[in-house]
């Protein structure tokens, strides 16, 4: 029962990630939504079976670094191209 809501969140995030590919910001937000659902799944599992929570703190550290890296990529793409549309990126340009 407790695992049902985070799994629904996870699959909704996967659907948004796979079907909405026009903006870079939307894909980053869907990845963060997937990470949030994974955090809920792991937190519920570890608190249900009374495990130590140091692993969750380590995972949160990595996930925050992943979010900061995605945000810095978004800022550099907007500064370079002027928008965050995937269709405007020219991969042939040197």
Q: Which residues pair with 23 in a beta bridge?
A: 85
Domain coverage including residue 38? 4-81
Total tally of structural domains belonging to the chain: 1
Q: 75 in a domain, yes or no?
A: yes
Contacts of residue 70, defined as CB under 8 A and 6 or more positions apart, other chains included, come to 28, 31, 32
pTM for this prediction? 0.80
Residue 5 is encoded by which pair of tokens? 């809501």
Q: How confident is the model at residue 68 (pLDDT cuts 50, 70, 90)?
A: very high
3-state class of 85 per DSSP? strand
pLDDT digits (tens, 9 = 90+) for 11-57: 998 998 888 778 888 888 898 999 999 999 988 888 888 887 888 88
Q: 68 in a domain, yes or no?
A: yes
Other CB atoms closer than 10 Å to residue 62's CB: what's the count?
10
Q: Is 93 a residue whose pLDDT tops 70?
A: no
Q: Is 94 a residue whose pLDDT tops 80?
A: no
Higher pLDDT, 28 or 90: 28
């Amino acid at each position: 029962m407790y695992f049902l809501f985070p799994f629904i969140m996870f699959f909704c995030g996967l659907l948004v990630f796979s079907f909405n590919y026009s903006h870079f910001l939307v894909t980053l937000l869907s990845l963060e939504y997937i990470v949030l659902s994974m955090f809920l799944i792991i937190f519920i599992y570890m608190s249900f079976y009374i495990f130590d929570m140091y692993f969750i703190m380590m995972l949160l550290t990595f996930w925050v670094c992943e979010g900061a890296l995605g945000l810095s990529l978004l800022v550099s793409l907007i500064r370079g191209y002027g928008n965050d549309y995937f269709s405007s990126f020219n991969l042939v340009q040197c």
